Amino acid sequence: MRALLLMLAVLVVGGAGAHPLAPALLSLHQTAPDRFEVLWRSSLVRTPGAALAPQWPTGCAAERREASAIDDDAAWVEHWALHCPAGIEGRRIGVDGLARAGINVILRIQPLHGAAQQVLLDAARSAYVIAPSGAATPVFTHYLALGVEHLLLGPDHLLFVLGLMLLVRGLRAQVWTLTAFTLGHSITLSLAALGLVRASPVLTELAIAASILWLATAILRRGQAPARRPWIMAVLFGLLHGLGFAGALAQTGLPLDEIPQALVAFNLGIEVGQLAVVALVLGAVAVLRRARVRPGVWMAARPLTAYVIGSAAAYWCWERSAVIWL
């Protein structure tokens, strides 16, 4: 288990950067067959020199009507009028600068009739070919996939889950601890998404990185004193991580007539992502148990894993602190 968690931690840290601070939102609301009202919202806290700009579909003319800073100057909002005589179906829309900015963009397209289309743009996929209005994914399926994607694409949350598995002894205790973590983040995620709780995205992400750093030190101390009542710690940190999960969900523009369904689906998606990670670890452990491994390797795996997790968390703490002051 220790050796496997070490390998997974290295892969997670080496394969991706920290979870994006705050996703941007590009929302198109169709008001006539050839006209759209556009909302473009992005955080003012981002990597210095990284500018983002929407790239409109070919044949569309855009006119900016209003621009202002909101949320105590933490976000920049622009309103556009988009005129597309030939329509937008089958055409590409995207955002320039994602590779440099290191954040995600939630693209939402609401047609005159039918369900909205919603996709996540990132450095690997900075544009999207707009599908016909009748091809939109159902709300539950869409938010379920969004929850899974948000968990699996967030290496900080993944390292926290891996750290919990390493901190707690026994499968039963691990299940209860992860369940407590799920309960915690489900509470604050729902409250924040509904607008009942508000927190600074930048400070929240910094606190999440600090929680992972604390977890890494707890893993190293476990040999001296086994973790007692780890589910309490998991619930408390789950409340914090829920605010981070809500950063993506709050930007999506929850469907007003299907908010409960969207929240349940998003929470289930996060849980499915967690269970997939746990199943992968436990399945691989079953295979490795049949291999002959020297006892010294197992003994060294725990501190090495803790140092990998702690080093990544320390870097994220520095990076997210630096963003605040730059």
Using 50, 70 and 90 to split pLDDT, how confident is the model at 36? very high
Burial class for 33, CB neighbours closer than 10 Å (0-12, 13-18, 19+): exposed
pLDDT at 78 over 80: yes
Instruction: Report DSSP state, residue 116.
Output: P
Instruction: With both helix axes pointing from N to C terminus, report the angle between 259-288 and 171-193 in degrees, rounded to the nearest 10.
Output: 160
> Which residues fall within 8 angstroms of residue 214, CB to CB, at 6 or more apart?
none
Instruction: Check: CB of residue 170 under 8 Å from CB of residue 227.
Output: no
Higher pLDDT, 310 or 196: 310
The strand pairing partners of 53, in sequence order, are 96
Encode pLDDT of 277-315 as tens digits. Answer: 888 877 777 776 676 666 566 666 778 888 888 888 888
Tokens representing residue 6 in the block:
């070490």
Instruction: Check: CB of residue 286 under 8 Å from CB of residue 179.
Output: no
Query: Would you mind telling me the total number of residues written for the chain in this entry?
Result: 326
The H or E element spanning position 242 is helix 230-251
Encode pLDDT of 217-248 as tens digits. Answer: 888 886 544 456 778 888 888 888 888 766 65
Where in the chain are the domains? 2-19+154-325, 24-137
Tokens representing residue 304 in the block:
């090495």
Smallest CA-to-CA distance from 236 within 207, 198, 200, 270 is with: 207
> How much is the average pLDDT of 30-58?
81
φ/ψ of 84, rounded to 5, equals -125, 90
Encode pLDDT of 93-129 as tens digits. Answer: 999 888 777 677 888 888 887 777 877 787 788 899 9
> How much is the average pLDDT of 128-155?
75
| Mean pLDDT for all residues in the chain | 76
Whole-angstrom distance, CA of residue 278 vs CA of residue 5? 10
φ/ψ of 226, rounded to 5, equals -55, 145
Helix (H, G, I), strand (E, B) or coil at 318: helix
Sign of the alpha-carbon dihedral angle for 258, 259, 261, 262: positive
Looking at residue 20, its pLDDT comes to 43
φ/ψ of 107, rounded to 5, equals -100, 125
> How much is the average pLDDT of 192-205?
76
Strand order through the sheet with 24-32: 61-70, 75-83, 35-43, 24-32, 105-110, 117-121
The predicted model scores a pTM of 0.64
